[in-house]
Chain A
Amino acid sequence: MSPEKMVTMANQIATFFMTQPGEDQASRVADHINDFWEPRMRRQLLDYVAAGGEGLSPLLIEATKEVREPAQ
């Protein structure tokens, strides 16, 4: 999918969990992505972050540390 669309989708998720109480927002974002994003979508996200992650919210970048690396 286009990088813009992916950034929008990812940021929407971060926006929701940002508003939730507690300390573990980044983990909850990562859990959501791990649960719902198919491996090639996660691959695209992780590659995008590795390339600078332009436009992604800081919470999302934080979360990608816990996003599962898809097996090949």
Chain B
Amino acid sequence: MKDFIIPWNDADMGTPAKTGAPVTLTVDGAAVTVPEGTSVMRAAYEAGITVPKLCATDSVEAFGSCRLCVVEIEGRRGTPASCTTPVVEGMVVRTQSAKVQKIRKGVMELYISDHPLDCLTCSANGDCELQDMAGAVGLRDVRYEPGENHFDPTGTGALSMADAKRREGDGNFRYIPKDESNPYFTYDPSKCIVCSRCVRACEEVQGTFALTIEGRGFESRVSAGGAVDDFLTSDCVSCGACVQACPTATLQEKSVAELGTPTRSVVTTCAYCGVGCSFKAEMNGDQLVRMVPYKNGKANRGHSCVKGRFAYGYAEHKDRILSPMIRESIDDPWQEVSWDEAIGFAAKRLKSLQKDYGRRSVGVITSSRCTNEETYLVQKLARGVFMNNNTDTCARVCHSPTGYGLGQTFGTSAGTQDFDSVEQTNVVIVIGANPTDGHPVFASRLKKRLRAGAELIVIDPRRIDLVKSAHVEAAHHLPLRPGTNVAVVTALSHVIVTEGLMDEDFIRERCDWNEFLEYADFVSQERHSPEATEMLTGVPAETLRAAARTFARGGNGAIYYGLGVTEHSQGSTTVMGIANLAMLTGNIGRPGVGVNPLRGQNNVQGSCDMGSFPHELPGYRHVKLPEVRKTFEAAWGVTIDPEPGLRIPNMLDAAVDGTFKGLYCQGEDILQSDPDTKHVAAGLAAMECVIVHDLFLNETANYAHVFLPGSSFLEKDGTFTNAERRINMVRRVMAPKAGYADWEVTQLLAQAMGADWEYAHPREIMAEIAATTPTFAGVTYERINELGSIQWPCNDDAPEGTPLMHVDEFKRGKGRFMITEYVATDEKTGPRFPLLLTTGRILSQYNVGAQTRRTANSTWHEEDVLEIHPHDAEVRGVKEGDFVKLASRSGETALRATLTDRVSTGVVYTTFHHPDTQANVITTDFSDWATNCPEYKVTAVQVSPSNGPTDWQERYNAQAEQSRRILPAAE
């Protein structure tokens, strides 16, 4: 076997990579060939030569301000800056000479004269480019007297803080103390060298434009927001790009200041959202010092957001439960016990339930938070040990319609592109998604493309940030009424078909022509025109027509969508409508186009791939198919039930009916995240054995009989699959705090129930997945390590994976147009409930908030608030910040209101990150027709002034408190 090299090298090459025709030049006598447009600095690096630099870094375009990187070029006068000089064929470069050495030394001397000499006690000691460069250029002396400076608070000429402490002086008016307002990093102006790398990173990488350089010359410094702002009050979203770019300790993680510089690093994958960013977990021993985005990560390309970058503290939080616990009844306090006892208790209960109530009386819920290997084992537990198909995943409540809709039209249940594809797109539709909050790193990549000229169409009831933010503005915003997605998408197709804007060649070649004709006939009907649907959807006909034309004529068109599409009673129909739109315009099968679901949680894609759904074995193959069952029956040595199992809502219904009695729930909090909380609570309360396997005593655990402590993503090996179908490695950086990784716990339970499982490492589980699932046939840990990551399908036909799907033909053969008739949801407004509630998430918090609430991210979002239009607020006597009662036919809750015209009149909006809010007490049991994905995004509600929490909230909290009591272990 050939040796493989993991591309661990993530050194800074000074300026960004370019693509272009090859150019050959000589650097210090060595010939090197690089793409046209590359800087001399980067070319030198390619030739193995590092040129000193301060203001350049390869995440942002060169700026040429420090002049440390000067070189000599044959035939050119003077000493050009290598970072801003592009290569030319035949160029001869010298990076070292007496002349450039002298210039560099002079530059460094000036920098150091206005820099404190606190190196030994500086938090960046050993990790500071200014230090490195002082060494590299041979700076041995500073001839300047300590005159005016920014670092000596006493104004007495102290060279370091330590020195200043001993002196008294009248104060240095140029000195500015540290800005500690951000919970995760500090800004220490006294150490700033004004290289502007942070400013450029905030603009180019993140796209927030929060930073500027204020003042000129000696007065200039970095400023966040306006004159009176600090980092926290500015527009800063705490993505960390500036911290990453800063060469000094000026912008520095507080964790490094506290814990010291890390000594080793392990590349792993963020466990928050479906973007699946790669990170380096930087460690001291087994202590995590910081997470830094990994440059070679193909999903994030070196960028991050506040969650993955900083919000990992929950893994060490005191609320984590580290001992297994059991109790006879949910009215009892918890009893800490050994692993053996807890597993034995659980296995015995489950077995006796199956004996008394039948084989199908128990089931599992797999997690979109856990690894592929863990998910695979949990569904295997249901199928191979419980001997039924009662397995479901929380993807049920988010992206199950994506699976169904794309499966029907294209033949695969997944997005068609990789994230890099956005760099080649010309017009983007974002529908029912709020990427700047939900998928921040993707949003940054999208915004970068928009700033470069791509057009944007936003279809969302709310004026999300993308509609208008710094240097980005949507060409069209279609502010539809919640629940009318299908009508809007069909109207877009109406315009495209009736105005003859479709891509007929593509349709003839790639799709079923007869089905297209039927579809064209359907959408052309006058009742689907924007004019006819305007009253219903609230979208002005002209805006909709303009958007359709932009999309159809704009070149490469890509559609990105989120839960605002799927979480409706017609979720699956909208997904089909989106697929129709892509086929109609020929936007499938090449870079820059496609249909791209933005997945909520880190491993939604993976948990679906791994056979979590009750009707599908791994790889989306129905359990009714004998040949598929045979594969698994041979591998597992069991007989698989050919009948579909219960989906989550069905499990709860069956529990209330008394036929479903036991549940093993891994890494999910269905009580908080699923709709109609009262119904979920009733279902859980009716069960006789609820096993919760989680990091924390979550809300579901209030109804549990067994609690098995989970392991965080830092404590186990495995893989996550992101929204691009990219299988990323999760690497263990510390031992599981509770003793076992999650896959081991599932295995213990299976063994206790009689299974002969003997997995020694997750790698063996992946081998079984590859052996049984054709789309994963070529996936092994070795292969992932070698390639960095792999996008499935990966098999003999595509040994390196598949970045783009459906290139020459659709997975199912011909693309299939589906008729998408709009059907109004039964959830209608009326006199009692005149407003429509829709829900979403915000940047700093994540889903039910179990993790992010246990970090300093709560600085940005302490509670869920209700957004309401000022007009709707006024007629109800509601003022900014008032406590209001939010009621629907399911229940009522209370929270604070904020007045904003981001939402239209008639629509209110809230997030669901905090258990106190109980937004799901309000949501109803209506669901998608095909998949039972709940209709979170539309609930008819009424809002009225209130003076505090509702009775339900108080009763709920009392029950929760009662239920969380823990008795210490009996010795």
Q: Residue B653 at the A interface, CB < 8 A?
A: yes
Q: Mark B280-298, 1 if CB is under 8 A from A, else 0.
A: 0000000000000000000
Q: Which of B615-653 contact A (CB under 8 A)?
A: 615, 622, 624, 643-647, 650, 653
State whether A38 and B650 are in contact (beta carbons under 8 Å apart), knowing that A5-B925, A16-B930 are contacts in the complex: yes
Contact of B643 (CB < 8 Å), options: A19, A32, A38: A38
State whether A70 and B819 are in contact (beta carbons under 8 Å apart), knowing that A32-B930, A35-B615, A35-B624 are contacts in the complex: no
Quick check: B615 and A36 within 8 Å, CB to CB? yes
Quick check: A1 and B653 within 8 Å, CB to CB? yes
Contact of B930 (CB < 8 Å), options: A8, A13, A38, A41: A13
Shortest Cβ gap from A13 to chain B (Å): 6
Quick check: B925 and A38 within 8 Å, CB to CB? no
Quick check: B657 and A15 within 8 Å, CB to CB? no
Q: Residue B818 at the A interface, CB < 8 A?
A: yes
CB neighbours of A37 from chain B (8 A) = 644
State whether A12 and B650 are in contact (beta carbons under 8 Å apart), knowing that A36-B615, A36-B644, A38-B643 are contacts in the complex: no
Q: Residue B826 at the A interface, CB < 8 A?
A: yes
Q: Mark B922-940, 1 if CB is under 8 A from A, else 0.
A: 0001110111100000000
* Nearest A residue to B519, CB-CB: A21
Quick check: B650 and A1 within 8 Å, CB to CB? yes
Q: Is the interface of A mostly helix, strand, loop or mixed?
A: helix
Q: Residue B853 at the A interface, CB < 8 A?
A: no
Q: Residue B791 at the A interface, CB < 8 A?
A: no
* Nearest B residue to A22, CB-CB: B518
CB neighbours of B650 from chain A (8 A) = 1, 38, 41
Q: Is the interface of B mostly helix, strand, loop or mixed?
A: loop
| Bound-state Cα–Cα, A14 to B18, Å | 54
| Bound-state Cα–Cα, A39 to B656, Å | 17
Shortest Cβ gap from B794 to chain A (Å): 28
* Nearest A residue to B623, CB-CB: A35
| Bound-state Cα–Cα, A8 to B931, Å | 13
Quick check: A35 and B927 within 8 Å, CB to CB? no
Quick check: A39 and B360 within 8 Å, CB to CB? yes
Q: Residue A40 at the B interface, CB < 8 A?
A: yes
Quick check: A70 and B643 within 8 Å, CB to CB? yes
Q: Residue B95 at the A interface, CB < 8 A?
A: no
* Nearest B residue to A38, CB-CB: B646
Q: Residue A9 at the B interface, CB < 8 A?
A: yes
Residue pairs across A and B with CB atoms within 8 Å: the count is: 62
Q: Mark A30-54, 1 if CB is under 8 A from B, else 0.
A: 0010111111110000000000000
State whether A38 and B644 are in contact (beta carbons under 8 Å apart), knowing that A12-B569, A19-B821, A21-B819 are contacts in the complex: yes
Quick check: B929 and A13 within 8 Å, CB to CB? yes
Quick check: B657 and A1 within 8 Å, CB to CB? yes
Shortest Cβ gap from A64 to chain B (Å): 17
CB neighbours of A13 from chain B (8 A) = 929-930
CB neighbours of B569 from chain A (8 A) = 12
Q: Which of B570-592 contact A (CB under 8 A)?
A: 573
Q: Residue B654 at the A interface, CB < 8 A?
A: yes
CB neighbours of B644 from chain A (8 A) = 35-38
Q: Residue B113 at the A interface, CB < 8 A?
A: no
| Bound-state Cα–Cα, A37 to B573, Å | 19
Interface centre among B518, B644, B645 (most CB of A within 10 A): B644
State whether A9 and B930 are in contact (beta carbons under 8 Å apart), knowing that A1-B650, A35-B622 are contacts in the complex: no
State whether A39 and B643 are in contact (beta carbons under 8 Å apart), knowing that A16-B573, A19-B821, A21-B819 are contacts in the complex: yes
Size of B's binding interface in residues, CB under 8 A: 34
Q: Residue B33 at the A interface, CB < 8 A?
A: no
Q: Residue B659 at the A interface, CB < 8 A?
A: yes
CB neighbours of A38 from chain B (8 A) = 360, 389-390, 614, 643-647, 650
Quick check: B819 and A9 within 8 Å, CB to CB? no
Q: Residue B823 at the A interface, CB < 8 A?
A: yes
Quick check: B653 and A15 within 8 Å, CB to CB? no
Shortest Cβ gap from B660 to chain A (Å): 9
Shortest Cβ gap from A9 to chain B (Å): 7
* Nearest A residue to B653, CB-CB: A1
Quick check: B518 and A5 within 8 Å, CB to CB? no
Contact of B927 (CB < 8 Å), options: A9, A40, A41: A9
Quick check: B615 and A40 within 8 Å, CB to CB? no
* Nearest B residue to A33, CB-CB: B644
Shortest Cβ gap from B196 to chain A (Å): 56
| Bound-state Cα–Cα, A40 to B660, Å | 11
* Nearest A residue to B389, CB-CB: A38
Quick check: A8 and B826 within 8 Å, CB to CB? yes
Q: Mark B823-844, 1 if CB is under 8 A from A, else 0.
A: 1001000000000000000000
| Bound-state Cα–Cα, A5 to B615, Å | 21
Q: Mark B535-572, 1 if CB is under 8 A from A, else 0.
A: 00000000000000000000000000000000001000
* Nearest A residue to B517, CB-CB: A21
Shortest Cβ gap from B233 to chain A (Å): 48
Interface centre among B515, B650, B929, B932 (most CB of A within 10 A): B929
CB neighbours of A15 from chain B (8 A) = 823, 929
CB neighbours of A20 from chain B (8 A) = 818-819
CB neighbours of B926 from chain A (8 A) = 8
| Bound-state Cα–Cα, A39 to B390, Å | 11
| Bound-state Cα–Cα, A35 to B614, Å | 10
* Nearest B residue to A32, CB-CB: B930
| Bound-state Cα–Cα, A8 to B929, Å | 9
| Bound-state Cα–Cα, A13 to B572, Å | 11
CB neighbours of B826 from chain A (8 A) = 8
Shortest Cβ gap from B931 to chain A (Å): 8
CB neighbours of B929 from chain A (8 A) = 9, 12-13, 15-16
CB neighbours of B645 from chain A (8 A) = 38
CB neighbours of A2 from chain B (8 A) = 653
CB neighbours of A8 from chain B (8 A) = 826, 926
Shortest Cβ gap from B397 to chain A (Å): 16
Q: Which of B495-531 contact A (CB under 8 A)?
A: 515, 518
CB neighbours of A39 from chain B (8 A) = 360, 643
Contact of A9 (CB < 8 Å), options: B573, B657, B932: B932
CB neighbours of A41 from chain B (8 A) = 646, 650
| Bound-state Cα–Cα, A2 to B657, Å | 9
CB neighbours of A1 from chain B (8 A) = 650, 653-654, 656-657
| Bound-state Cα–Cα, A15 to B930, Å | 11
| Bound-state Cα–Cα, A2 to B647, Å | 16
| Bound-state Cα–Cα, A13 to B929, Å | 5
| Bound-state Cα–Cα, A37 to B649, Å | 12
State whether A40 and B360 are in contact (beta carbons under 8 Å apart), knowing that A5-B925, A9-B927, A15-B823 are contacts in the complex: yes
| Bound-state Cα–Cα, A39 to B573, Å | 25
* Nearest B residue to A20, CB-CB: B819
Shortest Cβ gap from B516 to chain A (Å): 12
* Nearest A residue to B521, CB-CB: A21
The 14 sampled A-B contact pairs (Cβ below 8 Å) are A1-B653, A1-B654, A9-B927, A12-B569, A13-B930, A16-B821, A16-B930, A20-B818, A21-B819, A35-B615, A35-B644, A36-B647, A36-B931, A38-B650
For the complex of A and B, 7 pairs with smallest distance between CB atoms: A12-B929, A1-B653, A19-B821, A21-B518, A38-B646, A39-B643, A19-B819
Given contacts A34-B624, A40-B360, 15 further A-B contacts (CB under 8 A): A1-B657, A5-B925, A12-B929, A16-B823, A19-B819, A19-B821, A20-B819, A21-B518, A21-B819, A37-B644, A38-B390, A38-B644, A38-B645, A38-B647, A38-B650
